[in-house]
Amino acid sequence: MDADDLTICVLTHNGREVLKRCLDAIFLARPDGTQLTVIDNGSTDGAGSVGLDYGATVIYADNQHGFITGLNAAFQTASTPWVCFLQNDVLIHPYNLQPFFYDDFPINGVTQLHLKNEDGTVNHIGGQYVWPGVGMGNRRLCPDYAFLPVDLFATAAFVMSTHTYKVVGAFDTALAPAYYEDVDYSLRLEQHGIGRYVARDAIATHLSTYTFHQTHTKLQLSALCRRNRRAVVQKHFTGLNRMARLAGLRVLDTLTTDRFHGDTYCPSSIT
């Protein structure tokens, strides 16, 4: 992949100040030739104008399906063959988009960034789920591999081709406004034989659920997680017996960090 093949697409729903931090970080990480797009997903604080200040193309979405709207808009409106999708609360470390231009970059897969918390602990490197027939998400990055195969990728920050999006299809609006859309899409990628990876050296800080914490209480987020967790299990594992399905629901409750995460979990002890 060349730099002019890639659009860096940032999704924002309000949060002007955190968007500025995200775009400032991009300017230290962005290779020459890449395009920059900001999707303003129904902001009421004029966040889209921040994108204009940074020379980005701004696309205004209607937020009809929340975060899912933004995910789909990123790939439906892209004019390049590749998209690096970022939530506005993801801060790329300087020069850390370079791995996506390595010769061994897995062009036939979906590759997420190596996400860390603000304190430097791991935020997400492939999940902590145990799915019947899929297995457990990877718990650590192997230093021998620049691109580690994983079961699940995080939609907070990832690179995917528009071709893959067309093959697999849109992110499921039934899971709106968000949560477990990454699990659903990972399972759909598996069905198409498409790999999921974490780029070891593409490090970014994830401020984590910044937007949703502005608009939802923890109880509301927990209810969303339960609903979508159940929906994904029923969608993909309807042939399993009741106990296996309940086991799938239970293991998805595994939370091993002291921070609240609604979609994916990773041990906080890993650095």
Question: Residue 225 and residue 245: Cα distance in Å, rounded?
Answer: 16
Residue 259 falls within a domain, yes or no? no
User: Domain span at residue 33?
Assistant: 3-251
User: How is 156-196 classified by DSSP, letter by letter?
Assistant: TEEEEEHHHHHHH----GGG-S-SSHHHHHHHHHHHTT-EE
Q: Is residue 115 in a domain?
A: yes
pLDDT digits (tens, 9 = 90+) for 221-252: 778 877 887 788 778 766 555 544 554 444 44
Q: What are phi and psi of 27, to 5 degrees?
A: -65, -20
Is 74 part of a structural domain of the chain? yes
Residue-wise DSSP of 243-259: HHHHHHHHHTT---SSS
Task: Check if the beta carbon of residue 23 is closer than 8 Å to that of residue 51.
Answer: yes
Q: What CATH number should be reported for the domain holding residue 149?
A: 3.90.550.10
SS3 149: strand
In a domain, 261, yes or no: no
Can you read off the two tokens belonging to residue 170? 């849109």
265 pLDDT above the threshold of 50: no
Whether 265 is in a domain gets the answer no
What are the residue ranges of helices labelled H in the chain? 16-29, 47-53, 67-76, 162-168, 181-191, 210-215, 218-236, 242-251
In a domain, 262, yes or no: no
Query: The tokens 């309000």 sit on which residue?
Result: 14
DSSP 110: E
pLDDT score of 178 more than 90? no
- Please state whether the predicted TM-score (pTM) of the whole model is above 0.75: yes
| Helix or strand (DSSP H, E) at 38 | strand 35-41
Amino acid at 258: D
Q: Detail the DSSP E strand segments found in 54-146.
A: 57-61, 82-87, 90-92, 109-116, 122-124, 130-131, 135-136
Residue 271 lies in a domain: no
Is 193 or 223 the better-scoring residue by pLDDT? 193
pLDDT value at residue 214: 61
Residue 136 confidence (pLDDT): 46
Give the Å distances, CA to CA, from 61 to 18, 43, 74, 160, 217: 19, 9, 10, 20, 24
Span 112-132, average pLDDT: 71
pLDDT of residue 212: 57
Instruction: Give the span between the Cα atoms of 134 and 106, in whole angstroms.
Output: 20
What is the total count of domains within the chain?
A: 1
pLDDT band at 10 (very low <50, low <70, confident <90, very high): very high
What is the tens place of the pLDDT at every residue in 139-150?
556 667 889 888
Return the pLDDT at 40.
94
Would residue 264 count as lying in a domain?
Answer: no
Range from 63-67, 109-113, 118-122, 158-162 carrying the lowest mean pLDDT: 118-122
Count of alpha carbons within 13 angstroms of residue 56, beta-carbon side: 30
